[in-house]
Structure 1
Amino acid sequence: MKNSNQLQQQALKAVTAHLPIDIDGSNVIVEDGLSYTRSPIKAHDYATGLFSAFGGAVEYLGRMRGLPAQTLTVNRRLSGLSLNSLQLTFSNGRALGFDDYTTGPDNGIYRTRDNRFFGMIGLHPKLRDGITEYLGATSREGLRRAISQRDAQDLEDSFAQRRLPGGMVRTPQEWLDHPQGRACAEHPMVLVDQLSKGGSRRLGNATVRPLEGVRVVELANVVAGPTTGRALAEQGAEVIKLACVGGPVTIGIWLDANWGKRQFRMNIKGPAGQAKLRELLAGADVLLNSMSPGRLTELGLGPEALQQINPNLILADFSFAPKNSPWFDRKGFEQIAQSVSGIVSVNSQDRYMDDPTHISVLINDFCSAYNLATGIVSALAAREEQGGFWYVEHSLLRNATEAVRYVRPMNDEQYAPVSIADLRRWAIDQDTPNGVFTRLTPPVTFSHTPSKAWRPTGLPFGGVEGLSWQDKPIGSDDPLATPHYPSRIVAEGRLHDFVECYGIEDRGDGGGDVSFFSAGLAVLSRDQGLEAI
């Protein structure tokens, strides 16, 4: 990695250590840039190393398939911006609304009776209702009072029994002393394993894109799993996303994570849906799964059944905790992984808030997404040579256990808030049936095969008509064309609802705002003279 620092190199080595292919980063050029994430945890450096690993895997597979060797460029500042990409996405110049989205007081960190802290999040109505019903309160003050009457460990155990997302704030050492923390530390960063040999499916030579011809079935929701699918689509994969009928949708997250995909709503539990899903899997290369642990097996699609359907499939599982670990069946999100692993504890040292708070980027969701994508691409490369059925696995907690190791004094560098200048440099526009969408360019720049998403983002309102693999995927008639362009919306000053800031932060007072302007960041931003556009 040219021009890289020790932390960036450490991150690349961590994610590639157990892969079946060799990625050394020698073809990566790192561009330096200021961080906006004011934290002892160096999220920008961590992400730079992980994105470099993903680019290295994509380049490796492309070279295997006859494409030219490539140089990769990864910018440190863009890497950090990419960890909040959902808040830098605009439709016709207007923010998608996630900055105004409030999950309520059920999202936050509260002080417990034993003078510890407990974090929870009710992202979807079912989870919110479960939390408020169990605690017997709906207001911020009511929840604060209810939690202050319970010990942190008791709350964590009770939430787990009710399959609600919550966890006590631990230090990194407390996490490593915990059975789940030890299990995470001992688990490969990304597990890639060949479960069986044989089969004849291979990708063969590519003409333009490293992942052209790769077929992915995505059964994933929220941030990390769908972002993995987006990363694969941007390199040429055909991704079919199947959304459950009646499943929860958070609009801002959805529109950010689902570029490049064909999206359908389908009842995969019913006989017709089951038959269609099996038909798709028979012709697929990858099944990307982030459903609750055990759901695939309940559908009759465990690893053994999948091998019968497609002996050359790559099953990629994403979960809250590593497979076969003590917490494998628990529900959890970004915020809970930060709380239990030590990220919240380290991030809150020498801060401007009295109570602990999360780091101001989604360090687990987005980093985990690219870690899993790196594993999938490396499995595709290994399958080209060895054939067989492959299993790839990663989790939020495994990423969190690694991320908390990338620590330096918070004040050892200068910080610059996210600004309109960042969007002038890195925002791209893309025309869609719903107008012009503005978003960040992907974090890795390839010298010969630019990243792009031919299919615009959108919501899966349609049924299953036309649900089959395409002989000529969109964009194949003119593979050298690019559907996006440098943002004219930004250049012409037509962007609205943008706030200069130091990131997004879930408040340590149980306030519940997932927002650029949380309490502490608002004070900090005013002190720095930052304004909204």
Structure 2
Amino acid sequence: MSEPTPQHVLNSLWEMTGQPQGILSQLALRADHSLPSLFHVGPVASATISAQALMAAQIWGDRTGQMQTVEVDQRHALACFRSERYLHVDGIANGESHDDLHGFYQTANRQWVQLHTAFPHHREGVLRILGCEPSREAVSAALQRWQAEQLESQLAEAGLVGSAVRTTDQWQRHPQSGALSGLPLFEIQRIGDAPAEPVGRGVDPTQPLSGVRVLDLSRVIAAPVAGRTLAQHGANVLAISAPHLPQVQALLIDTGRGKRQAFLDLRQTQERDQLLELVRQGDVFIQAFRPGGLTQKGMGPEALARVRPGIIYVTLSAYGHTGPWAMRRGYDSLVQSATGIAHAEGMAAGLSGPGKLPCQALDYASGYLAAMGAMVALRRRATEGGSWLVRVSLAQTARWLRQLGERENGLLEPELTLDEVRPWLQTMQTPFGEVAAVAPAEQMAATPARFNQVCVPCGTHEPEW
């Protein structure tokens, strides 16, 4: 598929869900321009947002016996794929912000490496390993004593994050790439027996997921987008964090729309027990902890399926659940570097070093896929019963994006400007101030996506339904 259309990408994605094909006729996709990129980020944005919207429409149809039309504009979908850029609080733009040490550097073997220093403990850990002062000049000089993959391994062993920048061929020869090659884009597996349950409790007939209870234990972008997506279709989403966990405030504001926010410190036995009580009363559990982190606390998929038969356990990882990197932490930009995307974008743009996608496409696509997977599992639970596991990873999403091929003259596509995005911004009065953020892209005729809860700081609510 050299030049896949959004409709072709959606058709392929929908086939993977195993859902009835007939509902595709209810969708209208409008696609003109994408974003400047070698890759098909536009069709991926359109397809993943459309797929989760169609699942919501199908669930509402199961409840009411009625169908509805869904429309998605590709440029609006792309605005959702980098919504953090368009966030305004009290009229002040968020923009793109990174720690000053974050980014690409050359190492002793002239291979590039990407450092991720978004959180203070990441920054401090990198400086400790490099043994240098906190400046780009000092870091660059220190890296001349390192090989790229040597540093990548050292960071991983220390629980930190970074990535050597590989070519596509280098990644394809890597053992982790081989481990993922036989996996599907996403996985939805039955992991236990439970009686069939209807989706939700019908609290509000104008929202497909009304009455569905979702626990969201995630930060940054991908998994929080999954929780936000379920919220915009009416789910009761309770986000769980802890006072000691760092947050990126702009992302918390953007992805926190529609969610209540509570604190539970899972290092404390009593607070773990509180979370388990919430699980017993819930429907969906979303987590993106470091791989294996919750399993060690007795909160892996099978354990929670015993606590709450019928649970939908959604897990999102960087590099997948199998292979030598299954336990490795990572972020969108690092997965771009590891899998050859950053190198390919840099080459296509004629840069002297790596490039990057024009949005955090791996994060957002994975988040929407996770939400879609949760809804597929909810629908299957309604007819078949059972507890279900939904698995998504950034690396598998990257593989899917690469498989769609490269775009001729893709870098000549027009940028997405704030003036173009402005009609899609919605405002809400929040404890942070007046927030303007990108509204959901799907236009649903009978159940318009909306947020029933404004974004609030972590810990605002009690940990209760």
The counterpart of 1:55, out of the listed 53, 56, 62, is 53
The aligned residue for residue 203 of structure 1 is 199
Structure 2 distance, partners of 1:275, 1:183, is 36
Structure 1 distance, partners of 2:254, 2:286, is 18
> Is residue 164 of structure 2 the alignment partner of residue 168 of structure 1?
yes
Matches within 5 A, 1:121-132: 121-132=116-127
Describe the shift of the 1:274–1:205 C-alpha distance in structure 2 as closer, same or farther (beyond 3 A). Answer: closer
Q: What letter corresponds to residue 146 of structure 1 in structure 2?
A: A
**Does the CA contact (< 8 Å) of 2:344 and 2:354 recur in 1?**
no
The aligned residue for residue 442 of structure 1 is 440
Per-residue Cα deviation, 1:30-82 (whole angstroms, up to 9, x for no partner):
112323x3221121122111112112221222211225212211111112211
> Is residue 29 of structure 2 the alignment partner of residue 30 of structure 1?
yes
The counterpart of 2:403, out of the listed 405, 411, 415, is 405
**Does the CA contact (< 8 Å) of 1:43 and 1:406 recur in 2?**
no
The aligned residue for residue 9 of structure 2 is 11
Structure 1 distance, partners of 2:123, 2:186, is 31
The alpha carbon displacement at 1:301 in A equals 1.8
The aligned residue for residue 310 of structure 2 is 312
The counterpart of 2:175, out of the listed 172, 176, 179, is 179
Q: What letter corresponds to residue 449 of structure 2 in structure 1?
A: S
TM-score of the aligned structures, taking structure 2 as reference length: 0.93
The counterpart of 1:328, out of the listed 326, 329, 333, is 326
Per-residue Cα deviation, 1:256-307 (whole angstroms, up to 9, x for no partner):
1111011011212323312211111011110101111222222222233212
The aligned residue for residue 78 of structure 2 is 80
Structure 2 distance, partners of 1:270, 1:111, is 42
The counterpart of 1:188, out of the listed 177, 184, 187, is 184
Structure 2 distance, partners of 1:116, 1:453, is 45
The aligned residue for residue 271 of structure 2 is 273
The alpha carbon displacement at 1:311 in A equals 0.5
The aligned residue for residue 139 of structure 1 is 135
The aligned residue for residue 151 of structure 1 is 147
The counterpart of 1:458, out of the listed 451, 456, 459, is 456
Describe the shift of the 1:419–1:53 C-alpha distance in structure 2 as closer, same or farther (beyond 3 A). Answer: same
Q: What letter corresponds to residue 125 of structure 1 in structure 2?
A: P
**Does the CA contact (< 8 Å) of 1:20 and 1:379 recur in 2?**
no
Structure 2 distance, partners of 1:124, 1:433, is 23
**Matched position secondary structure for 1:6:** coil
The alpha carbon displacement at 1:198 in A equals 2.5
**Matched position secondary structure for 2:276:** helix
**Matched position secondary structure for 1:391:** strand
Structure 2 distance, partners of 1:40, 1:301, is 40
Q: What letter corresponds to residue 261 of structure 1 in structure 2?
A: K
**Does the CA contact (< 8 Å) of 1:62 and 1:209 recur in 2?**
yes
TM-score of the aligned structures, taking structure 1 as reference length: 0.82
**Does the CA contact (< 8 Å) of 2:201 and 2:211 recur in 1?**
no
Quick one: percent identity of the two aligned structures?
A: 26
**Does the CA contact (< 8 Å) of 2:200 and 2:212 recur in 1?**
no
Aligned length: 459
Describe the shift of the 1:304–1:40 C-alpha distance in structure 2 as closer, same or farther (beyond 3 A). Answer: closer
Structure 2 distance, partners of 1:10, 1:132, is 46
Per-residue Cα deviation, 1:471-515 (whole angstroms, up to 9, x for no partner):
xxxxxxxxxxxxxxxxxxxxxxxxxxxxxxxxxxxxxxxxxxxxx
Q: What letter corresponds to residue 384 of structure 2 in structure 1?
A: Q
Per-residue Cα deviation, 1:15-43 (whole angstroms, up to 9, x for no partner):
444434335733221112323x3221121
In structure 2, the gaps of 5 or more residues are: none
Q: What letter corresponds to residue 147 of structure 1 in structure 2?
A: L
Structure 1 distance, partners of 2:65, 2:231, is 18
Describe the shift of the 1:462–1:79 C-alpha distance in structure 2 as closer, same or farther (beyond 3 A). Answer: closer
Structure 1 distance, partners of 2:431, 2:338, is 42
**Does the CA contact (< 8 Å) of 2:36 and 2:410 recur in 1?**
no
Structure 2 distance, partners of 1:399, 1:239, is 25
Q: What letter corresponds to residue 309 of structure 1 in structure 2?
A: V
The aligned residue for residue 522 of structure 1 is none
The aligned residue for residue 113 of structure 1 is 108
Q: What letter corresponds to residue 168 of structure 2 in structure 1?
A: P
Describe the shift of the 1:205–1:410 C-alpha distance in structure 2 as closer, same or farther (beyond 3 A). Answer: same
**Does the CA contact (< 8 Å) of 1:334 and 1:365 recur in 2?**
yes
**Does the CA contact (< 8 Å) of 2:319 and 2:396 recur in 1?**
yes
Taking only aligned residues, the RMSD between alpha carbons, in angstroms, comes to: 2.0
Structure 1 stretch 14-23 or stretch 179-188: which is displaced more? 14-23
Structure 1 distance, partners of 2:180, 2:6, is 21
The aligned residue for residue 464 of structure 2 is 468
Structure 1 stretch 442-451 or stretch 175-184: which is displaced more? 175-184
Structure 1 distance, partners of 2:125, 2:200, is 50
The alpha carbon displacement at 1:98 in A equals 4.7
**Matched position secondary structure for 2:188:** strand
* Higher helix proportion: 2
The aligned residue for residue 247 of structure 1 is 245
Q: What letter corresponds to residue 29 of structure 1 in structure 2?
A: A
Matches within 5 A, 1:466-505: 467-469=463-465
Describe the shift of the 1:412–1:365 C-alpha distance in structure 2 as closer, same or farther (beyond 3 A). Answer: closer
Describe the shift of the 1:58–1:198 C-alpha distance in structure 2 as closer, same or farther (beyond 3 A). Answer: same
**Matched position secondary structure for 2:403:** coil
Describe the shift of the 1:181–1:26 C-alpha distance in structure 2 as closer, same or farther (beyond 3 A). Answer: farther
Structure 1 distance, partners of 2:257, 2:350, is 37
In structure 1, the gaps of 5 or more residues are: 470-533
Structure 1 stretch 171-180 or stretch 390-399: which is displaced more? 171-180
Per-residue Cα deviation, 1:328-377 (whole angstroms, up to 9, x for no partner):
11111111100011111221123253211212210111111001111111
Structure 2 distance, partners of 1:9, 1:118, is 36
**Does the CA contact (< 8 Å) of 1:192 and 1:392 recur in 2?**
yes
Structure 1 distance, partners of 2:293, 2:172, is 29
**Does the CA contact (< 8 Å) of 1:313 and 1:389 recur in 2?**
yes
The counterpart of 1:369, out of the listed 367, 370, 373, is 367
**Does the CA contact (< 8 Å) of 2:217 and 2:287 recur in 1?**
yes
**Does the CA contact (< 8 Å) of 1:314 and 1:379 recur in 2?**
yes
